[in-house]
Structures are given as C-alpha cells and as structure tokens.
Amino acid sequence: MGRKSAARRQLALRADVNWRRRPAGRNGGLAANWHCVPMSIGGGGGAPDPEASFSGPSQVRDHAFPQHPPGFATLDLEVRTKVRPLLCELHAHTTWSDGELALHELVDLYRRSGFDVLTVTDHVLRTDAAAGGGAPPAGVHEANHAAYLAAVRSEAARARRSYDMVVIPGVELTYDDPEPARAAHALAIGCPEFVALDRGLETALARASDLGAAIVAAHLEAPDDRPRRVRRTQRFWREWDLLGGLVDRYELFNGRDLFGWVADAGPPAVAGGDFHRPQHIGGWKTLIPCEKREDDLVAYLRSTRPVYFALVEPGLTPPLRRRRDRPEKVTAAAS
C-alpha cells in the first residue's frame, strides 16, 4: 500500500460516520445536499459534542470512502458539534495576483456554490533577485496593499449584507526559489498589514503571526511527490520541525491533492482549494465549527482545535435510487 493510500485509510478510521438518505431539492438556488463523511486530524480540542448534529449545505461527493452502504446514491454528512460548522474556502486567488476572476466575481461564485466563508489570499512575492529572475507575476506588494485590503473589506461588507457570507482578507506569502528545498508558501489569514518577504520567510511568518494572522503552510510537497505545479515547494517538508513554531496549521489537502506526510506527522491541518480558475471550485474543503465571525474563525485557525474535511463537487445533482431493503427511510426523508 502506498503512502497516500495508507494516509487515506488512517483518516477514514478517524472519521465519525453517519449515513443518512436525503431527497433532491433546492438550497439557495443550488442543487440539494449530497455529502460524504467528514474527517478530522490533528488538534487537541477533544471530541465534538455527541448531542448536536449538522447537515452541511453544499454538494459533496464521496471519492475517498468507497465503503458506503450499497444502494445509496446520495449521502448526507453529520458533524456532531454544538455549533453548525461553516463550509470554508481558505485559499483563493483573484486578478490581484494570478487568479482568473476579479474579486467580486470570486465572491459571487463562492456564494452561488453554497460556501459560508471565503478567504482571499493573493500572492505576496519576493522582490530580490534570488527569487528566480525575469519579470515577476502580478501580486500584492507594499505600494498596492492598502488598495487590496480596502477592496477585500468592501467585498466582505457586500457579501455579509447580501449573502450572510464571511469574506476574510489574507495573503499567500510566496517564498519562491529555484531550489525546491528552499521554497515555501504560507497563507496569512486575517493579516491586517503588509508583510514583506525580503528579510526571509521566518521573519515574514513571525511578523504576520504577531499581527494576529493565522498561518497555514501551503501545498506541502515532499521530494517523492509527483510534480503538480511549476513552482515546487518542499521547505516545510524538509524543515517542518524547525518552522513548526511559526505555523498554526498545515494543508493536508490542496485542491484534490493529499499530502501523506502531513497525515503521518499529525499537526493541526486544513484543506484549501488553491483557487485560480472556476474549475478549482471543487475539491477538498474545511468545515470549521465556530461562530460566523471573522475574529472567531481566525482565532479557531490559530488554535489546535479540530476541523473537518469534505470533498465538494458543485453542480452535481444525482438521482436518488430507492433502497429496496429500507423503503420506509426513503419515504420519511422525502416527506
């Protein structure tokens, strides 16, 4: 069994499984729920409250767990927790850096897709020559950061007013290097000021953390991983014990990619979409059981409390198939 398969099995064994049947329907203009079981890993917050439950609002497909009961075409997850978990996108880019959508288009897309929380994390790049040479791609820098932050705040106000969705400003601290072992990216979620990278990654992480941001190590490749992107980032794998004191959480999932070494190491983890274009709306996402406020979300991410994961597949409306051995359950769900 490969490392990733073992990690998936490990996660499955940690899952709190609840299978329930749900009918097709509508939810805010979207096709109704179909869900896989959530997963938790890392964190020291203890078990969720068994007396409360949540049925998530977004469409989720079961790819990681083929052992679901036979005959079920749709699956509904329940996360047992006192607070309704929020479906979050923690890693997304706009035309402020290398994303295809303008900020308002990104916000509207995630609202239409049923998300509760969107974090905008456009790139902050190195400006020194060691970053690789040539003209750097567009990104957030000291001269435009105030305008970027104001634009995200304006969209956050519109999203809360119109959609009751939380939009959080952030950046992706993008420390590129021709040598993958020296390259690393980290999200600074809720960072209120510009943070430069030219004094080194460690200095930037410490500064963003001091400003109150939640620090998330992103797309955490190991040397034996199949290359998925032009910019390779292996420093966190190489030095995670040294850099760990500067990081709150690690991306266990980036889009549809699972980083098995993070599962093996077991630090507090999240799933981020690394959104650049509309096709990236699906993939593994994070469910956070906290109040629907920016400060509470950032504080939760800075803690070691557990989160949950779900694989989101938007735009899918599979037909229900009647399960012959339990017809009364189908009738009750459809009423």
pLDDT band at 192 (very low <50, low <70, confident <90, very high): very high
The top-scoring range by mean pLDDT among 71-80, 88-97, 137-146 is: 88-97
Residue 301 and residue 303: Cα distance in Å, rounded?
Answer: 5
Q: Rounded distance, CA 309 to CA 283, Å?
A: 10
pTM of the model: 0.75
Confidence (pLDDT) at 242: 84
The mean pLDDT of 65-69, rounded to a whole number, is: 28
pLDDT at 318: 38
Strands 308-312 and 257-258: unpaired
Amino acid found at 30: L
pLDDT at res. 133: 54
| Across 88-102, 141-155, 288-302, 316-330, least confident range | 316-330
SS3 152: helix
pLDDT tens for residues 20-59?
223 333 333 332 232 434 454 544 443 333 333 333 433 3
pLDDT band of 7, cuts 50, 70, 90: very low
Q: CA–CA separation, 107 vs 3, rounded Å? A: 36
The maximal CA–CA distance of the chain, rounded, in angstroms, is 68
**Within 13 A of 193's CA, how many CA atoms are on the CB side?**
10
Residue 224's pLDDT is 74
Residue 31: how many CA atoms within 13 Å on its side-chain side?
16
pLDDT at 198 over 80: yes
Q: Is the dihedral of CA 57, 61, 63, 65 positive or negative?
A: positive
Question: 67-71, long-range: CB within 8 Å, 24+ apart, which pairs?
Answer: 67/12, 68/19, 68/36, 69/19, 71/321, 71/323, 71/324, 71/325
Range list of β-strands (E), 18-116: 26-27, 30-31, 86-89
- Lowest mean pLDDT of 62-66, 101-105, 186-190, 320-324, name the range: 62-66
- 243-266 mean pLDDT: 92
> How big is the chain by its Cα radius of gyration, in Å?
20
- Bridge partners (DSSP) of residue 250 are 217, 269
| Residue 43 Cα to chain centre, angstroms | 16
The fold of the 3-334 domain, in CATH, is TIM Barrel (3.20.20)
- What are the residue boundaries of the structural domains of the chain, listed by start? 3-334
By percentage, how much of the chain surpasses pLDDT 90? 52
